[in-house]
């Protein structure tokens, strides 16, 4: 059966390279058609479609609109990502977007990049992927940056060398096992930096598993540090119609996926409940791996 794809909504992505970054985590670089993907910026997402299999959201881990290339880094979690990971160079998929509100740089932050108050970027697990464009953007704009990345183990780690080259010594890695960097979670590492080294940050950006983000939000709120987090929810439509990604009435696909500290403070479902693919409420802790 031949599937007709409307170019009004979908762009054709052709695979040009692939790499297994870590356990079940892949990076694939695609070329895309002219006059598409113009709205790409850190934190926004695409709806990636493999006809007959699945459609799902991914935030690019790198892109160059001028050269018409985009890199998607993802963890194999279901049929869609499994099929995506098995593509061969030259194979094609489709994508629509970009959608959502990405990361922003507050106006008063532009003149607060001195050594005493760097900007912190914290990523956990596969949530590290959409932070790489943000890190590159902030470095390119001259911000003094400190980055903390956390993983379950060394086998789950990725982008460590890439980030280290961008920020030099302003970099820390944590693993639950302690086999890479310091032992503990991302939140443990950030807490240690804040309290033991007496380092102050002007702003914090983060992405990762929701329990991590929830605990980091509590820590940063206690210390009155402004922040933006990229949240993950089950997204079906990507344009704010179906409501499957809703959190306290806000649609993660349309009102997010990036939310600032003020908005997060008012979300009592954040870190607690979300909707399953069937639309049922479930604990954020269930299936969070």
Is residue 250 predicted with pLDDT exceeding 90? Answer: yes
Is residue 59 predicted with pLDDT exceeding 60? Answer: yes
Determine, yes or no, domain membership for 5: no
Q: What is the DSSP letter of 272?
A: T
Looking at residue 76, its pLDDT comes to 96
Is residue 107 predicted with pLDDT exceeding 90? Answer: no
Is residue 116 predicted with pLDDT exceeding 80? Answer: no
Is residue 72 predicted with pLDDT exceeding 90? Answer: yes
What is the widest separation between alpha-carbon atoms in the chain?
63
Same domain, 142 and 227: yes
Strand partners of residue 50: 54
Same domain, 115 and 200: yes
- Whether pTM > 0.85 for this model: the answer is yes
Is residue 2 predicted with pLDDT exceeding 70? Answer: no
Looking at residue 282, its pLDDT comes to 85
Looking at residue 289, its pLDDT comes to 34
Q: What is the DSSP letter of 63?
A: E
What's the number of domains the chain is made of?
2
Q: Which of 71, 183, 57 is nearest to 132 (CA)?
A: 71
73-87, 106-120, 123-137: segment of lowest average pLDDT: 106-120
Q: Using a pLDDT cut of 90, give the percent of the chain over it.
A: 75
Looking at residue 174, its pLDDT comes to 96
Looking at residue 111, its pLDDT comes to 56
- Residues 16-43: tens digit of each pLDDT: 999 999 999 999 999 999 999 989 999 9
Same domain, 26 and 71: yes
Looking at residue 278, its pLDDT comes to 73
Buried b (16+ CB within 10 A) or exposed e, 141-155: eebbbbbbbbbbebe
Final residue before a domain boundary, out of 99, 133, 162: 99
Same domain, 94 and 133: no
CATH of the domain at 20: 2.40.30.10
Final residue before a domain boundary, out of 38, 69, 99: 99
Strand partners of residue 55: 49
Same domain, 153 and 208: yes
Same domain, 136 and 250: yes
What's the domain range around 93? Answer: 11-99
């Amino acid at each position: 059966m031949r599937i007709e794809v409307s170019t009004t909504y979908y762009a054709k992505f052709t695979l040009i390279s692939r790499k297994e970054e870590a356990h079940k985590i892949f990076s694939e670089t695609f070329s895309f058609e002219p006059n598409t993907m113009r709205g790409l910026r850190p934190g926004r997402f695409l709806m990636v479609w493999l006809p007959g299999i699945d459609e799902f959201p991914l935030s690019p881990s790198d892109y160059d609109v001028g050269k018409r290339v985009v890199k998607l880094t993802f963890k194999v979690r279901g049929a869609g990502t499994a099929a995506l990971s098995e593509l061969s160079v030259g194979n094609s998929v489709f994508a629509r977007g970009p959608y959502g509100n990405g990361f922003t740089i507050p106006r008063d932050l532009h003149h607060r990049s001195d050594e005493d108050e760097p900007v912190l970027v914290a990523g956990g697990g596969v949530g590290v992927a959409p932070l790489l464009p943000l890190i590159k953007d902030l470095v390119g704009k001259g911000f003094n940056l400190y980055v903390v990345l956390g993983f379950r183990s060394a086998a789950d780690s990725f982008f460590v060398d890439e980030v280290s080259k961008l920020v030099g010594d302003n970099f820390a890695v944590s693993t639950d096992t302690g086999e890479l960097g310091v032992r503990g979670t991302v939140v443990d590492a950030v807490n240690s930096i804040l309290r033991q080294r007496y380092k102050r940050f002007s702003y914090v950006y983060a992405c990762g598993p929701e329990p991590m983000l929830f605990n980091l939000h509590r820590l940063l709120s206690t210390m009155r540090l402004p922040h933006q987090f990229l949240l993950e929810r089950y997204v079906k439509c990507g344009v704010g119609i179906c409501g499957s990604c809703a959190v306290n009435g806000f649609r993660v696909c349309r009102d997010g996926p990036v939310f600032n500290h003020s908005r997060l403070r008012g979300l009592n479902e954040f870190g607690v409940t979300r909707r399953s693919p069937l639309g049922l409420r479930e604990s954020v802790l269930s299936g969070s791996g």
